[in-house]
Structure formats: structure tokens, C-alpha cells
A = this chain, B = another copy of it.
Amino acid sequence: MHLRPTSYLLLGMLRVGAASGYAIKKTIEQSTQFFCPTSPAQVYPELDRLEEAGLVARRDASRGARRRSDFTLTADGREALRRWLKSSREEPMQIRMSGMLRLFLADALDPEEQRELVQRLAQRSRDGASHLRTEILPVAERLADRGPRFPHVAAQFGADMWQFAAEWLERLDAEIAARGPVEDGADGNDAAW
């Protein structure tokens, strides 16, 4: 069976102790959502698939009338995760950041509007950094005390990337401002490519 990044995410979540589908979904919200968005509607079917493949074991954990399953990694599941992490066949190199496309297309705006756009993108980058620092990092830090350290590493990495982006965009804004009133001219549809 073909495993996707999402599959490995679930295996990894089980590995660090999130036992039910619901717990996985919650954990994702507090940790990987910012770089690997995963909706609840993916979690349950994917757990079924993983069970079918023998990578996770389901155990009934219903309490009273409330249906509930707990999952654990099987030896195969553990091995599949390790093998994937060790394989050097990586996904294509991409860095997708909301806002990059707008930046790329900003020539369609007047300089004043360009600055507004760049400032908005810088603000959002600052927001991203601060969200990670206040909401995600503390959780990851607590987790690191008891074992898994890399969720914290990843959160720190993300926060630093956002911070870097914010500063980069602030510098860009200053540059646009410094260039003063337009001397561009290329506002039409100049066939330049």
C-alpha cells in the first residue's frame, strides 16, 4: 500500500502518545498544522487504511455507550516510519508560503499599494512567528521534557523562518519607500518575457 506524508504524520503522532483519532486531530492543531495541514476528515479514513495495512493496531476503548478506538503502532508501523525517515527520496523542493504569489504579482499595483501589500505580508509573518512562539512552542517544550524533542525543534525552526521572512519584508518595504516616486513606467502589458 502506498503511504503518503499524512500517513507518516499519523504514525508519528501515535509514536509520541496520541492514542485516538480525536487525540491525533487535536495534536495536529497544536503542532503540525502550520506546515502540514490535515483536516479531521482525513484522520479517520487514514487510520482505517493503516490498520488494514497492519501498521497500527486498534483496540476498543469505548466507555459506556461512547464508541472510541485507541491505536498503537505495530512493529511494522514503527519500521515503516523509520524507513521513510531514513530514505533519501524526498519530496520535490518547495517552499510554499501564503503571500509569495501576491508578492510575485505585485507589479500590477501602484507603488503605494505595493508598500501596503508588503507591509501586510510582513505583519502576517510577524503574526506567524508570534503564533508559533506563544501557542505551539510551549506545548512542544513540555513535550520535550518528557521525551520527543523534535516537535520543539520544528516549531522553533518555523518561528525563526517566519521571523526571517518578516524582517526581509520590512527591509523590502524600506527599499520601496527609499526608491521614491515611480520611475517605473512598465504598467501596461509590455510583452517582456
Q: Which residues of A contact B (CB under 8 A)?
A: 5, 8-9, 12, 14-19, 23, 27, 31-32, 34-37, 72-73, 78, 81-82, 84-86, 88, 90-109, 113-114, 116-117, 120, 124, 127-128, 131, 143, 146-151, 153-154, 157-158, 160-162, 164-165, 168-169, 172, 184-186, 189-193
Contacts and interface: CB of A to CB of B under 8 A. Distances in A.
Given A94-B97, A168-B160, A192-B146, A81 B104 contact: no
A128 B104 CA distance: 18
Given A101-B32, A147-B184, A82 B108 contact: yes
Given A17-B191, A98-B91, A147 B186 contact: yes
- Per assembly, the copies of the chain total 2
A87 to B, nearest CB: 10
Shortest Cβ-Cβ A-B pairs, 8 listed: A147-B186, A17-B191, A12-B105, A104-B154, A91-B98, A96-B96, A107-B148, A146-B192
A105 B9 contact: yes
B94 A95 contact: no
B101 A93 contact: no
B107 A98 contact: no
A85 B102 contact: yes
